[in-house]
Structure 1
Amino acid sequence: MPSAVTAVPAAPSSIAREHFATEFTFETDCWDVHDTLSRGADFVLLDVRSPALFAAGHIPGAINLPHGKIVRSKLEHWPADTLFVTYCAGPHCNGAARGALRLAELGRPVKIMAGGITGWLDEGFELTTDAAE
């Protein structure tokens, strides 16, 4: 008798390849964000949580722009082809997806940082409370 894992067969390799390759166009991970930030970011990292949560601790280099406040006028000083990477509290939070949706609706390139703050801390990376970020 098959297990819960094998009862539904895996997709054919060609379909699986397309599926998993497509995921990378929608998201990045904490390790890649950290590595890129350490060498000079080629994207804008948006913390889409509340200002209070941002002040309590955020990723160094992030800009606080709560997902409900992402509007065209707040993005005007970045070129139209600027990639935005959104993050929120973690896998239990959909704020990053809400922010990404708003950016996509405004025609902006966007990815989500999988794991959010939870993933960042799990990797052993530090947060900052520096208000200058």
Structure 2
Amino acid sequence: MSDLTSTKTIAIINSQAPFASAAGKEALDAALIFGSFEQATSLFFIADGVYQVIKAQDGALLELKDYLKTFSALPFYDIENIYVCQQSVIARGLTADSLLDNVQLLSSNDFSQRLHAHNVIYRF
């Protein structure tokens, strides 16, 4: 008999730029839902998804609702593991200083290892 109270670890991969589609907002909404049900959830940013974790973005300039401010709510949902692929950051000419303070910049190998340590992986 399986233990129904066991918690699966959930990884949410963000690979698209903010405001280019609804994928970024949907990924963040999913994370908040999992967090509200006390599921162990981690966020991963790779490829153009790294643009979502740049400091001081303002979607209002594009006349879009700015969902990125929701990142500040993640600790309230016990979502503290936010991983960013260092290779993706470098390839886009960004620096660690341009990213949100609560993210962990990881090498491709470390990023992959952390990702594959999760039971369930969703990609947006």
Q: TM-score range by the shorter chain?
A: 0.3 to 0.5
Q: Return the structure number with greater strand share.
A: 2
TM-score normalised by structure 1 residue count: 0.31
Q: Return the structure number with greater helix share.
A: 2
Q: Which has the higher contact order (CA 8 A, sep 6+)?
A: 2
TM-score normalised by structure 2 residue count: 0.32
